[in-house]
Amino acid sequence: MKFIRLFILFSLLYVQDVQVDAYLDYNSPFHPIVSSNGMVVSQNLESSEIGTQILEAGGNAVDAAVAVGFSLTTTLPRAGNLGGGGFMLIYLEKQKELFSIDYRSRSSLNSNLKDLFGSKSPPQIQDDDYDLTKYGYKASAVPGTVYGLLEAHEKFGKLSLDKVLKPVIEQAKSGIIVSYDLHNAIGSSDQLRKDPESRRIYFKNNLPIAIGTVMKRPDLARTFEAISINGKKGFYDGWVSEKIESSMNDNEGFIDKNDLMQYTSKFRDPVGVNYRGYSVYTQGPPSGGGVAFLTALNVLSYFNLKKYRKDSSLTYHLLAEALRRGHNNRSHHVGDPDFYNVPTKDLISKGRAKLLTKNIAFDKASRSSSIQKYNHIEESKDTTHYSVIDRDGNAVSNTYTLGYSFGSGVTIPGTGILMNNQMRNFAYKYGDKSSTSRASSPGNKFMPGKRPMSTMHPIMVFNKKDELFLITGSPGGSQIPAANLRVVTGIIDFDLHIGDATMLPRIHKDWPYEDFEFESTLSQDNLNILDKMGHRLKPSDTIGSTQSIQIIDGINYGFADLRRPNSGVSVEKSSQ
């Protein structure tokens, strides 16, 4: 009997050891954060934690997203912003409804080509002339971020605005510790040195504010307080708008109080396609990135990607061919739908994709001239994205930008507001028949009061049961569709979890350019084969920085892309 009891005891211990060993035998080094509670994933962990503070205070996903959007102004000043604009997808679980808010910056009603380019006018404007829209006061379009975030809060939030902004104000007053990344980002942004107010905030003794320094932002705190008390009027009217107008007047900028008071965000219909039974939604025009991304998915739907390895040369080849056709599709007839009749349905139709697919070969890279454009500029990587879900299943996918890192470099004195350089994103060469690039796009030609085309496109994916399955998005300029496409196809085509899908090597191929850009993690064997196929290989720095939440059977799996430092997942603490 004693022998039997000992045998059972050793057997139980053995089983426990086996179970522990099996659990510790991880299949991947890229571990998602797992929780059934609310979750925030952003490019800065401190801002993610402010989002979950709002969830713990009884706020919903929209309240948390608004707090994160304002917080990133302090923690990630090169991209988090009050002086820029973006796009937001909002999903309400109870109503099963998806909403899209376009709060893209728009050109001043006072802006004009003569003040931008002197005697030159389209199509005489050349690529070098675009430098005039890079930095300084004339580079800025009317900011939309504050309007868009507050519009979302007014329509869908639960908590009062003062409760949502309270931790944001406290964070700006208390300050943040300057990280290695922030220190070096400041040092690499020469436009900050050229602006007296930016130089005062971000430099000390003419050097970027030192690593480990506490950077307090009382100027931003005052602006946040004005918004907290007066809502939209706290930014678009009152003393903040007066500061913006007077600074613009003193520096030959375009924006005045009339521009600010007339700005509104827009509710637009999300656009989407069915990809292998999954419903994939994103932002429509003026987002060209959404058109490029959905076009690429449609093209890939004609190939059984699943039968190839996730990291095979053929997979990379097909991704490249799909991406460049997507960029072709966005290059001519995508712009502000309030100014131009964008043929969105045709551009993202299966018929258009089938036509684009006809000349894709399995063993040879296509040339840009072989891709038929639809008949009817340099882009910055310093955007940022964040994803939010609450315990009730409501969700937000938000991407916004200043344009370049630290935008135009201009900070409005006394407000802490860094201004964007989105005037650079218009097509100023329209009418130039010798140009096939986006710079000559009739859909995106410059007009006062217009929103320029953007590659930003936040994403939500629903599974075959119409349940929310994935929230994601990325910064990266023209590389945004490539980053997003790699994550979505990694999950759907190769059954990867969000960690592995995020950390797959990424490639990018635009149109009409021939370069095949690749991350350093792509294997040399694949590069050799792709080179033989005729791809013009060009090493790239990291492509994008997706911040994602995957939802499986009611459990949230969050993963912050490792490509950029300081990002992080924060989880709402249990109320029990």
Domain membership flag for residue 440: yes
9: confidence class by pLDDT, cuts 50, 70, 90: very low
Domain membership flag for residue 77: yes
- CA 95 – CA 98 distance, rounded (Å): 9
CB 409 within 8 A of CB 198: yes
What is the average pLDDT across 209-226? 97
Domain membership flag for residue 63: yes
Structure-block tokens of residue 177: 């510790």
- Per-residue model confidence (pLDDT) at position 24: 57
- Per-residue model confidence (pLDDT) at position 3: 42
Query: Over the chain, what is the mean pLDDT?
Result: 91
- Per-residue model confidence (pLDDT) at position 125: 78
Domain membership flag for residue 183: no
Alpha carbon 193 to chain centroid, angstroms: 26
What is the average pLDDT across 218-237? 98
Domain membership flag for residue 429: yes
pLDDT tens for each residue of 403-459 = 999 999 999 999 999 999 999 999 888 877 776 678 778 899 999 999 999 999 999
Residue 7 pLDDT greater than 50, yes or no: no
CB 323 within 8 A of CB 508: yes
The CATH number for 226's domain is: 3.60.20.40
Domain, as residue range, for 109: 33-175+216-271+376-571
Residue predicted with more confidence, 297 or 380: 297
Work out the percent of the chain whose per-residue pLDDT is above 70.
92
Residue 17 pLDDT greater than 60, yes or no: no
CB 65 within 8 A of CB 42: no
CB contact set of 21 (below 8 Å; sequence gap of 6+): none
Catalytic residues: 383
Exposure class string for 466-478: b at 16+ Cβ within 10 A, else e: eebbbbbbbbbbb
Instruction: Give the single-character DSSP code of 308.
Output: S
What is the average pLDDT across 48-64? 98
Residue 382 pLDDT greater than 80, yes or no: no
pLDDT tens for each residue of 26-54 = 788 999 999 999 999 999 999 999 999 99
- Per-residue model confidence (pLDDT) at position 370: 67
DSSP for 355-373, written as a single string: HHHTT--SSSPPPGGGSPP
Residue 15 pLDDT greater than 90, yes or no: no
Domain membership flag for residue 27: no
CA distances from 442 to 257, 401, 433, 501 (A): 29, 24, 11, 37
| Nearest Cα residue to 54 out of 153, 182, 201 | 153
What is the average pLDDT across 302-329? 94
| Nearest Cα residue to 567 out of 503, 516, 514, 511 | 503
pLDDT tens for each residue of 316-374 = 999 999 999 999 889 888 999 999 999 999 999 999 999 999 989 999 998 877 665 55
Instruction: Give the single-character DSSP code of 464.
Output: T
What is the average pLDDT across 550-555? 96
- Per-residue model confidence (pLDDT) at position 103: 98
| Nearest Cα residue to 79 out of 378, 351, 402, 357 | 402
Structure-block tokens of residue 64: 């948390």
- Per-residue model confidence (pLDDT) at position 236: 98
* Residue ranges in 365-511 assigned as alpha helix (H): 480-492, 498-502
Q: Which residue has the tokens 């053995």?
A: 14
As for how many domains the chain has, the answer is 1
Domain membership flag for residue 352: no
Domain membership flag for residue 257: yes
**pTM, two decimal places:** 0.93
- Per-residue model confidence (pLDDT) at position 126: 76
Structural element, H or E, at residue 97: strand 97-103
pLDDT tens for each residue of 177-207 = 999 999 999 999 999 999 999 999 999 999 9
Work out the percent of the chain whose per-residue pLDDT is above 90.
81
- Range name among 128-137, 381-390, 446-455 with the lowest pLDDT average: 128-137
